[in-house]
Structure 1
């Protein structure tokens, strides 16, 4: 009993000594955030938002207020094509607006310049689209009575380091193609050999973090149901795009780890803003048992 009274008294002391602390943020200058990509045989997509202070209270209204829907976005290719992107409403994005080309599609071997004019600022970025990777075979491996995982056999061209990015979409479950688990890899040391890359399942991100499209499926980590129909994209990237995506991916992974600390800023290939403009030479597959 005496020990219980001491512990209870100590808790009362802690409560009585606590006080509400208000943290004030230093002056913050918002930046234009670019999330843009163009892939071979596909249109260019650009989503524009404004960055927010770390302590911002995020909800759907706060996120919508960061969206920039009044910019002039121009796409120019290295063979002289140019187009001002059109703003579309697309419910599969959040906020549900995206700037998109309607005439120009990505072409392997070309460079693409993105120019954004908004609020008196000029923001620029360049990227290139490499040749798509040479995929010899995509494999489906049964891992239990009801689940599977997939892999792809790639052939290294032996001409230096190549960089890759894998995306998946489970038809009828996911709204968009999104990064697989461990999506970024290269062919260092392959020296013209054929090598195998396992493609692991990941959950499509929910913009507000309110729910998961995967929450009711009860699947083992990284695996698919053997009845799933899966869209698979494996893309070749230039080194600059690979570095930016690697940093963004690591930031996303570490944001859920309270013990992680990265003493550097996230890479960006956007001049006058932050974010990414990514060219992708893409090979695409539909997989079903």
Structure 2
């Protein structure tokens, strides 16, 4: 069975220290937290929750208490409107996700999100940029005798086109979701050449059941994804990355300033172009 992880816990990011009455006389943090995305070639997906007050215990049990499973979530591409359904996904914590299948992500299109829950309405808009394909991806070790290594990828950044990127990886049978790579958020203003070659460092999951390591190991089957995104989405992920780089906990960011494109709540509604390749490591000895 796959180990359970959570990629990032927007539901427990403390964006505000103000509590109010949310429902049934229970005093809860008032904001709705959204982790939503639509990738090219796939349907929309949303994880919805309430933020956890700063003085509460943060563990998987309390996270489950703040998950929202009864909201009406609508996604539109300007032509088709779809109400998302909710399903249980045991490979995630929390194990519930809203999903759609009528709307499939396409580059160049804009997608609106509307969430209705109790007396709250949350809205957001995103778009999917053109995909930039991965030219190559290989597993390399510093020494032949090593049992660990890193991924090196190459891709061509389109000339005269502004692009923001994120590199993410997923280790087969160890990670059920793609995890943003450490230093994996890229602005093409920082590239020296349109031909990009770089090392990919394994990113960190929260609540893992095994010790985190920033490298890959012999015997791993690794999926590498290059996402393109707009500036709003990049700003969110860059603020997230900065918290990790600065050795801060993004669950409780030092300045409570993680970027967001959500109106009426917090979090992110992201559109991604995506190119995914498979990398086989050397057999485990």
Query: 1:188-207 alignment to 2 at 5 Å?
Result: 188=189, 190=191, 193-206=194-207
Instruction: Determine if contact 1:203/1:214 at 8 Å carries over to the other structure.
Output: no
Indicate the residue corresponding to 1:130 in structure 2: 129
Indicate the residue corresponding to 1:15 in structure 2: none
The Cα shift of 1:262 comes to: 4.7
Instruction: Determine if contact 2:248/2:254 at 8 Å carries over to the other structure.
Output: no
- List per-residue Cα deviations over 1:118-163 (Å, max 9, x = no partner): 1111110001111111322222222232222111111121124310
Say if 2:243 is the partner of 1:251: yes
The count of aligned residue pairs is 253
Say if 2:251 is the partner of 1:265: no
- Using the size of structure 1 for normalisation, the TM-score is 0.80
Indicate the residue corresponding to 1:176 in structure 2: 177
Aligned-partner SS, 1:102: coil
The Cα shift of 1:164 comes to: 0.4
In structure 1, the gaps of 5 or more residues are 1-24, 216-220
The Cα shift of 1:203 comes to: 3.5
Say which structure, 1 or 2, has more relative contact order (CA 8 Å, 6+ apart). 2
The 2-side partners of 1:57 and 1:226 are apart by: 37
Aligned-partner SS, 2:243: helix
CA gap 1:252/1:46 in 2 versus in 1, 3 angstroms: farther
Indicate the residue corresponding to 1:21 in structure 2: none
Indicate the residue corresponding to 2:216 in structure 1: 224
Indicate the residue corresponding to 2:45 in structure 1: 45
In structure 2, the gaps of 5 or more residues are 1-15, 21-29
Structure of greater Rg: 1
Say if 2:69 is the partner of 1:72: no
The 1-side partners of 2:211 and 2:75 are apart by: 36
Please report the RMSD computed on the Cα atoms of aligned residues, expressed in angstroms. 2.3
Indicate the residue corresponding to 1:94 in structure 2: 93
The Cα shift of 1:99 comes to: 0.3
Instruction: Determine if contact 2:166/2:184 at 8 Å carries over to the other structure.
Output: yes
Aligned-partner SS, 2:236: helix
Indicate the residue corresponding to 2:13 in structure 1: none
Instruction: Determine if contact 2:17/2:54 at 8 Å carries over to the other structure.
Output: no
The 1-side partners of 2:117 and 2:244 are apart by: 27
- Using the size of structure 2 for normalisation, the TM-score is 0.81
Range 34-43 or range 223-232, more displaced:
223-232
The 1-side partners of 2:244 and 2:49 are apart by: 18
The Cα shift of 1:263 comes to: 4.3
Aligned-partner SS, 1:268: coil
